[in-house]
Copies of this chain bind each other. A is one copy, B any other.
Amino acid sequence: MPREAEGAAHAVEGLPLNPSRVWARYWIESAFPLEEAAASLAGEQSSGTFVQVPGETAALKQRYGARVEALREVETVDAPSLPGAALPKGIPQPRWRRAILDVSWPLDNMGPSLPNLLATVAGNLFELRQFSGLRLLDLGLPAAFAEANPGPAFGVAGTRRLAGVMEGALIGTIIKPSVGLTPEETAALALTLAKAGIHFLKDDELQADGPHCPFRQRVDAVMGALRAHADATGRLPMYAFNLTGEVDQMRRCHDHVLAAGGSCVMVSLHSVGLTGLLALRRHAQLPIHAHRNGWGLFSRSPHIGLSYLAWQKLWRVAGADHMHVNGLQNKFCEADESVIASARGCLRPLFAPPLPACTVMPVFSSGQTVRQAHPTYAALGSTDLIFAAGGGLVGHPAGAGAGVRAMQAAWDAAIAGIPLEVQAERVPELQQALAEFAA
């Protein structure tokens, strides 16, 4: 199965970090001889096309052609997984073979440019007629990418410093309802959550700069409330304001957050693209909270798309500081082991010293309640994470403030090795949360 193949790719500890070549690993399915299918992909994505052209000399191919580095058949199936693929001629009863394919390209083909890397490793190959299934599983990037691209400016340590949370998970929430609150209503809710000790708040990805809650007014109202709270208590929670939009607009919004004393901005990655994120990152003086909405399109089919392991590397090199990884027992379709593999990926260095590791804070989100603290900590073995519960915190029967206290108590218990039910006997808000959010 492709998902297992993904796990297998993961297990071999990533691809070689060759100084002069980009590596990519794919899961493929084809009715053609595998070597032939692999060669067609390598050709199409480098010097070749569907016919031989005069300029494609042996010397040129040798220097600029992509190379099939490894090809390992994993299984055979009786029917193609996706429609549209061609059949090899002269084979009356075709079988579809699945394989793990490693391909490498000379760095010179695209240079250390992330947008052009994407066109090479995830461009016109998903449609090739030789394949009835194709997924990009992993990437190995030369050091030049770390040198030419900004990477995360804050990552785990910078986020902890700005949020004032030096240990433990960052307990976070999403302002809910997703849309519809005025700037003043948003600020009032943020203040309630701040008073209850929340570490991190964020806009929903559906909330950006609509006329009912304009970005600037929201920032002014929220930061007014949070700064007053910080003046009184010394604690300023981090609020990720969603500034997804056009480049100049994002830069202006960022500057407004900075001037208002804010400490984080949020952006929807698929909405702005790699070029949009790079433009924001090169301007930004605040951590960038990267939202992955739309990710299901890339991952939902086992037979086409990208693995999170490959995908998150692109955004980390570009400069995201926090990356969404879904959550355990989430409201979406993803299995728990996949969520944890994604979070581990975010915390694993991309480059070796003295190059930056580009590690980022994984963000657990989607249907999260007090019930997921223990399994999340047990599975990840780290508290370097943002645990963002929206409805599961704001929807606490005794109010959002009680929601924060319940969540903090759950995480305290998880870290201390105290069972959730034992902790609930001591903390009434946790007891109420357990009753409200059934297993």
| Known A-B contacts A126-B300, A210-B111; A47 and B178 likewise in contact (beta carbons under 8 Å) | yes
Chain B positions within 8 Å of A54 at CB level: 394-395, 399
Which of the residues B118, B176, B208, B209 comes within 8 Å of A270, measured between beta carbons?
A: B118
Instruction: Decide yes or no whether A68 CB sits under 8 A from chain B.
Output: no
User: In the complex the two chains form, is B119's CB within 8 Å of A271's CB?
Assistant: yes
On whether the beta carbons of B128 and A331 are closer than 8 Å, the reply is yes
Q: Is the CB of B270 within 8 A of A275?
A: no
Given A120-B206, A247-B275, answer yes or no on A297-B296 (Cβ-Cβ < 8 Å): no
How long is the Cα–Cα vector from A46 to B247 in the complex, in angstroms? 25
What is the CB-to-nearest-CB distance from A190 to chain B, in angstroms, rounded to a whole number?
12
CA distance A52 to B125 in the complex (A): 43
Most buried by B among A244, A271, A291, A302: A271
Main secondary structure of the interface of A (DSSP, over half): loop
A331 in contact with B50 (CB, 8 Å): yes
Q: How far is the CB of A60 from chain B (nearest CB, A)?
A: 4
Report B-chain residues with C-beta under 8 Å of the C-beta of A268: 115-116, 118-119, 123
Q: Are B128 and A60 in contact (CB under 8 A)?
A: no
Q: Convert A278-301 into 0s and 1s, putting 1 for each residue whose CB lies closer than 8 angstroms to a CB of B.
A: 110010000000010111111111
Check B119 against A293 for contact (C-beta < 8 Å). Answer: yes
Q: Is A10 an interface residue (CB 8 A)?
A: no
- Contact at A127–B334, with CB atoms within 8 Å? yes
Are B273 and A180 in contact, CB atoms less than 8 angstroms apart?
no
Chain B, Cβ-Cβ closest to A133: B300
Interface segment among A77-85, A218-226, A356-364: the answer is A77-85
CB neighbours (8 Å) of A205 from chain B are 119, 123-124
Select from chain B the residue with minimum beta-carbon distance to A49.
B391
Are A64 and B180 closer than 8 Å at their CB atoms? yes
A residues 178-232 touching B (CB-CB < 8 Å): 178-181, 185, 189, 205-206, 208-212
A94 sits at the interface (CB 8 A): no
Top 7 closest pairs, chain A to chain B, by CB: A273-B273, A126-B296, A84-B333, A275-B276, A127-B296, A115-B271, A123-B293
Residue pairs across A and B with Cβ atoms less than 8 A apart, 20 shown, are: A45-B206, A49-B177, A50-B391, A53-B177, A84-B333, A85-B333, A108-B211, A111-B209, A115-B268, A115-B272, A119-B291, A119-B293, A123-B294, A127-B295, A247-B247, A248-B279, A270-B273, A273-B275, A274-B276, A275-B276
